[in-house]
Amino acid sequence: MSLNGNGHASHGNGNGNGLTATGNDYPVPTARAEWIVKRKEEAARTGDTNMSQMHFARKGLITEEMAYIAKLEKLSPEFIRDEVAIGRMIIPANINHPELEPMAIGVGSLCKINANIGNSALTSNVDEELRKLHTAVHYGADTVMDLSTGGDIPMIREQILRHSPVPIGTVPLYEALNRVKRLEDLNIDVYLEVIEEQAKQGVDYFTIHAGVLVEYIPLVAKRITGIVSRGGAIMAQWMTHHHKQNFLYENFDRITEIMAKYDVSYSLGDGLRPGCLADASDEAQFAELKTLGELTRRAWKSDVQVMIEGPGHIPMDQIKLQVDKEVELCDGAPFYVLGPLVTDIAPGYDHITSAIGAAMIGWHGAAMLCYVTPKEHLGLPNEKDVKDGIIAYKIAAHAADVARHRPGARDRDDAISHARYTFDWDKQFALSLDPETARSMHDETLPDDYYKEAAFCSMCGPKFCSMNWSSKVDKFNESEFGLKKPDLTQIVTEQMALRG
């Protein structure tokens, strides 16, 4: 299966099996290379070097990316343009990432999911990272972050970018720290050097922890888990060492200039996100969020795209508050949240503790959900963990789309339910997020082909299969009252076609 786009156009449209083609009316991947060439020529002619989608949207233009996304999302191109123009939607699409199949992140489009991959100094290599990328995209990741912190970081990133049809995000601070060796030697020059290099390579969005201000540091003293964001902790340690303000905050406009040139989107990092339930929604968290709002407006002045990173660990009763605060303080910039975990007591199962929070926050309006794998807090995820994380988050994002009543969001549920009720086992498997797993669970007890049309399974057995009895009740309703079951043929056919 190839990852570089051909036959792949569906990770953004709710398909669990990212590599299945959705149709021929989508541009082949080379198309984006052509759009970019044209755009660069135009920039050379006019001297306008701002290449961001927001810049074009604000000039009233509908880019090819916007048109492409409009088709995928079944929305009008004008709507996409207007949402991007006001900053409520972003299209992370570096002009040096021609392999990209454009996608959008915003409350007006389907809820997206991100998968973190990347090695640490202790484990993993480039082949394994490429396998994780493949797994992530195959099961439906909409974007992927390369969080590598060890080994040859630029080489791993280059490989990931050149093989990725989805936007790639990074945290440039990691490479900067590796370059200077000692944390206290970090400085804006090496940072700008790193982001320019990464931007040239084609990274689509950067997590930048510019909102952790020196005056917020005392606010974390009362926390149980202090600062749990790597970037946040690094910047805090730098500030306490130098007794100086965050150099990312101080030099924000210089960073923005580079972002504009390559159209890299900001993912404003939540360096002070809570790392446990006790620390949720505290003064430190919301102080930083307010600063992220200020930075958002500054980036928008230069037509640079922004999304805002969010928690973390949040009890269920505070989840809506998190979205409300973000919308209020950050003027509706897309909210990109990690989990949140709704309890701290289940290491080994944090894909589940966090899928609960993710589904709820997606329903309340978060635009993208960053997955958490079962290995969270315990070690670097492997390929199986990546898969488990992705499936949990496809569930969360889809449940959010259904609960928000996005048009057509429930079609796949209806189709699979119909297949289930009519004992069409093969269709039930095909329409599921993970057909192989569904099939193998069924086949564990009833492997024969014969049972693929059986009006029961091993759960209740033939005599106690409720759906079997229920179909007899349907016959009664039809003969007695002339009442017919709804006809779902069209929805099932459409949904089966989407699954290839």
Among 2, 76, 125, 240, binds a copy of itself (CB under 8 A): 240
- Give Cα separations from 68 to 27, 222, 276, 305, 306 (angstroms): 8, 48, 40, 18, 21
3-class secondary structure, 313: strand
**Contacts of a copy of itself in 196-225 (CB under 8 A):** 217-218, 220-225
| Residue 421 CB coordination number (10 Å) | 15
Q: Which of residues 399-438 bind a copy of itself (CB under 8 A)?
A: 399-400, 402-405, 410, 412-414, 416-418, 420-421, 428-429, 431-434, 437-438
Q: Which does residue 190 bind out of a copy of itself, ligand SF4, none, counting CB within 5 to 8 angstroms by kind?
A: none
- Rounded-to-integer distance, Cα 113 and Cα 144, Å: 9
Q: Which does 396 bind (CB under 5 to 8 A by kind): a copy of itself, ligand SF4, none?
A: a copy of itself
Of the candidates 297, 299, 335, the one whose C-alpha atom is nearest the C-alpha of residue 319 is: 335
CB 93 within 8 A of CB 56: no
Token couple for 25: 């009316």
* Residue 456 contacts ligand SF4 per CB under 6 A: yes
Select from 53-61, 75-83, 279-287, 463-471 the region that touches ligand SF4 (CB under 6 A): 463-471
120 or 251: CB nearest a copy of itself: 120
Among 28, 121, 460, 483, binds ligand SF4 (CB under 6 A): 460
Judged by CB under 8 A, the residue of 86, 276, 321, 496 near a copy of itself is: 276
The answer to whether residue 244 forms part of the interface with a copy of itself (CB under 8 A) is no
Residue 61 touching a copy of itself (CB under 8 A): no
> Judged by CB under 8 A, does residue 470 bind a copy of itself?
yes
Closest by CA to 65, choosing from 98, 21, 108, 112, is 98
Query: Cα separation of 334 and 403, whole Å?
Result: 18
Q: Any contact of residue 394 with a copy of itself (CB under 8 A)?
A: yes
Residue list 361-420, contact with ligand SF4 (CB under 6 A): 377
Helical packing angle, 252-262 and 283-301, nearest 10° = 50
Based on CB atoms, which residue is closest to a copy of itself, 23 or 461? 461
Instruction: Choose from a copy of itself, ligand SF4, none: what does 477 bind? Cβ within 5-8 Å by kind.
Output: a copy of itself
Residue 439 identity (one-letter amino acid): R
Q: Is 229 in the site for a copy of itself (CB under 8 A)?
A: yes
Residue type, 359: A
Q: Are 98 and 33 contacting, i.e. CB atoms less than 8 angstroms apart?
A: yes
Give whichever of 75 and 227 is closer to a copy of itself, judged by the CB atom.
227
Is the peptide bond preceding residue 340 cis, with omega within 30 degrees of 0?
yes
